[in-house]
Amino acid sequence: MAGREVLLAVTGGIAAFKAATVASRLVQRGCGVSVAMTSAARRFITPLTFRALTGRPVYTSIWRTENPADQQHLTLTERADVFIIAPATADIIGRIAAGLGDDLVSTLALSVASPVLLAPAMNTRMWENPIVQRNLSALCALGWQVVEPGEGWLACRTVGKGRMAEPEEIVERAVQIMRARV
């Protein structure tokens, strides 16, 4: 996968720690990985972790850039071979499906031209909520792909469906997507 570029968006859920492994495994496969984080994601894991794993700066705000002319929500998406949102919370799925772009990650999602891979992570009741499923269906109708969440022990101390897919499964799907792009 040398020479391939991945844009990884990390949102605010307990599964954000798994996104670090996703980033690391992609780098190990030769991909360049740029990471964007929501403010909520930074409550669970720090940008320093991703900077150390990717060797690149981490993007945390649509307003922060060294070059005022740089529209990072456009420049980051232009070079991406795949855009991964992991974890994809009910919040980010809903905001994107509604066309809202009020932070860096949502504006990236609204301006991306590459394939998109969502790795949802949330409580079982949230995952099964018809509104969440409708929002996911709307994004899938646009060609976005989903790595289904697994079943198991959740942060809410219950067992059910909603835990983010394992990092290797997310990486494998991303690699498949990139290989399909000629």
| pLDDT tens, residue order, the chain (182 aa) | 789 999 999 999 999 999 999 999 999 999 999 999 999 999 999 999 999 999 999 999 887 655 554 555 578 899 999 999 999 999 999 999 999 999 999 999 999 999 999 999 999 999 999 999 999 999 999 999 999 999 988 888 888 899 999 999 999 999 999 999 86
Catalytic position from the list 17, 156, 166, 172: 156
Q: Is the separation of the CB atoms in 24 and 101 below 8 Å?
A: no
**What pLDDT does residue 66 have?**
55
Active site residue 31: no
Structural domain boundaries, residue 68:
5-180
**What pLDDT does residue 74 have?**
72
Q: What are residue 68's phi and psi, to 5 degrees?
A: -60, -25
**What pLDDT does residue 62 have?**
82
CATH number at residue 149: 3.40.50.1950
**What pLDDT does residue 72 have?**
58
CB count in 10 Å sphere of residue 165: 23
Q: Which helix (H) or strand (E) holds 145?
A: strand 145-146
Number of structural domains (the chain) is 1
Q: What is the pTM of this model?
A: 0.94
Q: Amino acid identity of 101?
A: G
DSSP-based three-state secondary structure for 93: helix
**What pLDDT does residue 164 have?**
97
CB count in 10 Å sphere of residue 123: 18
**What pLDDT does residue 65 have?**
56
**What pLDDT does residue 120 have?**
98
Alpha-carbon distance of 135 to 130, in angstroms, equals 9
Query: Any alpha helices (H) in the chain, and if so which ranges?
Result: 16-28, 47-54, 72-78, 90-97, 104-111, 124-128, 130-141, 167-180
Classify each residue of 3-20 as buried b or exposed e, where b means 16 or more C-beta atoms within 10 Å of its C-beta.
ebbbbbbbbbbbbbebbb
